[in-house]
Every structure is written in C-alpha cells, then in structure tokens.
Amino acid sequence: MARARIPAERGDPAVVAALAGDVERSVLANAVRYLLQRLAERSEGNTVEVRVPPFGAVQCIRGPRHTRGTPPNVVEMDAPTWLALATGATPWADAVAAGRISASGTRADLSGHLPVWHGSLGHAPVPG
C-alpha cells in the first residue's frame, strides 16, 4: 500500500516550523517525510535508499532496481541533518566531512539531487 502524499499546504509550513526549531515531534516528522517525498519525486528511481530514522525512508535515483534485503546504496542521517541538506542550509560535502551522514554504495552521493526545498516557496529547481 502506498503512503499518503503530503500536500505542499501541509508540508511547507511543517518545514518552516521545523527549521525554526523546538517543534513537536509530529511536526518534525511531517517536515522530514515531506522533504523525503520531494526527493523521491524529483529523483525518481530505486537505486538509493535514503533513511532518516525514525521518521521515514524513500528509494530514489534511477539505476539498477533493488528489491530484497539491504540495498547496496544506503544513505542514513538524523532529522536535523536531513533538514539542513534538503533545504540547502548545509552542503552535502560538509555534512559528510563532519560525519553526519552514513553513506554506502557507489551511488550513495546525493549532492546532485539537493536541495529539494527553497524558502517559503517550497520549490527548488529540479537537479540536472
């Protein structure tokens, strides 16, 4: 069963609130899931699994499809790191260098797919 899509009318305010800090867990969860959803929409595919425990995970980026067991390309981080990356507040290379991201696999570099959200408009250009 597919997960319910988070509409921009609910997701954008959650991201703004989460970036402001000190929000309820449900608001943070909504912001994280919304930004993961945007990544999956902008970078369709099943080659990389992006995990932000305990809030969510998506598969994205075109390439060889993975269907069973642990995917060969996994990116995992905490919610504050994901918010910073997805909104462009922190560059991918900086987060990797700081040890804030666990990434394995030859395709587990999201730098060309971020940011996915821009300011109050909520829209970022599609990575090219």
pLDDT in tens, 30-76: 999 999 999 999 999 989 999 999 999 999 999 877 667 777 899 99
Kindly give, in sequence order, each residue whose CB lies less than 8 Å from that of residue 20, ignoring residues fewer than 6 positions away: none
Neighbouring C-beta atoms of residue 92, cutoff 10 Å: 18
Q: What are the backbone dihedrals phi and psi of residue 82, each rounded to the nearest 5 degrees, phi first?
A: -60, -45
The token pair that represents 22 in the structure block: 């000190």
Which of residues 17 and 69 earns the better pLDDT score?
A: 17
Task: Judge contact between 95 and 76, C-beta under 8 A.
Answer: no
Six token digits for residue 80? 């504050």
Quick check: 77 pLDDT over 50?
A: yes
Per-residue pLDDT, averaged over 73-81, amounts to 97
Residue 128: pLDDT band (50, 70, 90) is very low
